[in-house]
Amino acid sequence: MSVLKVRGLTLGYNRTDAVKGIDLDVAEGAVVSLIGANGAGKTTTLRGLSGLLKARAGSVLFQGAEMAGQPAYKITRAGVIQVPEGRQVFANMTIEENLRMGAYLVQDKAEIARRRVGVLERFPRLGERLQQLAGLLSGGEQQMLAIGRALMADPKLLLLDEPSMGLAPLFIEEIFAIIRALKVEGRTILLVEQNAQAALEVSDHAYVLESGRIKLQGPATEIASNPEVIAAYLGAA
């Protein structure tokens, strides 16, 4: 069953539409990837889903409820949690405070503590320096923190925007290992990536976005063996 059902979603800036009426489904417990070239509209799509950008047309049903037109904080409250492009950790807050912000909507102290333990088990590196300012972490560590912060919200749908961007190969592997682990635990994830190869490997289903339109979609294995996709996104560049 689809937890997320997007129909005819149109988003844009000023006078131009950057995303032009896309349809997209994410099944419960699935990892779905959205791949495409620079400027295809991937980030725009995620910002539309999380409410940072208002939909110009179309519908975004999350667990049957309409999210289009809702402010971002209400979409967060519904359980759709975005890890934004460029991580956007709170640079002048400590790691501890960043994690606390992730659970901003949670009132129950015991529940916050429980989630914190889970996040620190997953990211021991964060636990070693809880009092350090997030802005001083390396890019890879900041990405871990951004994901850890999102997990503090116990997402029903996790939106990841290029988590591997700008990271060293070792960190990229670690990020994809984390995504695989989250999938095994049953998390539902919509993953935006330029690293198409790695994204398709962890995904069940994939969409290819080109100039704001869905060009192709299907099971990830099928997309990965599609000659057009191989030529455009997977071939030796």
Ligand X SMILES: Nc1ncnc2c1ncn2[C@@H]1O[C@H](COP(=O)(O)OP(=O)(O)OP(=O)(O)O)[C@@H](O)[C@H]1O
Residues that bind other proteins (CB under 8 A): 50-52, 71-73, 76-77, 81-82, 84, 88-93, 97, 100-102, 104-105, 133-138, 149, 153
131 contributes a contact to ligand X by CB under 6 A: no
Out of 194, 201, 210, 226, point to the residue binding ligand X (CB under 6 A). 194
Interface map 71-100 toward Mg ion (x if CB under 5 A): --------------x---------------
33 contributes a contact to Mg ion by CB under 5 A: no
42 contributes a contact to ligand X by CB under 6 A: yes
Kindly state the smallest distance separating residue 192's Cβ from Mg ion, in Å: 7
Kindly state the smallest distance separating residue 173's Cβ from ligand X, in Å: 21
82 contributes a contact to ligand X by CB under 6 A: no
44's contact among ligand X, Mg ion, other proteins, none, with CB below 5 to 8 A by partner kind, is ligand X
d(CA 202, CA 181): 10
- Extract the tokens encoding 236: 């030796």
Number of H helices, E strands in the chain: 10, 10
Q: Any idea what DSSP says for residue 168?
A: -
39 contributes a contact to ligand X by CB under 6 A: yes
Beta bridge partners of 158: 81, 189
DSSP H helical segments within the chain, as ranges? Answer: 42-50, 72-78, 95-102, 109-122, 124-127, 139-151, 169-184, 196-202, 220-224, 227-229
Q: Which long-range contacts (CB under 8 A, 24 or more apart) does 123-129 make?
A: 123/147, 123/148, 126/95, 126/99, 129/95
140's contact among ligand X, Mg ion, other proteins, none, with CB below 5 to 8 A by partner kind, is none
Q: Any idea what DSSP says for residue 136?
A: G
For binding to Mg ion (CB under 5 A), which residues are involved? 42-43, 85
For binding to ligand X (CB under 6 A), which residues are involved? 13, 18, 36, 38-44, 85, 194
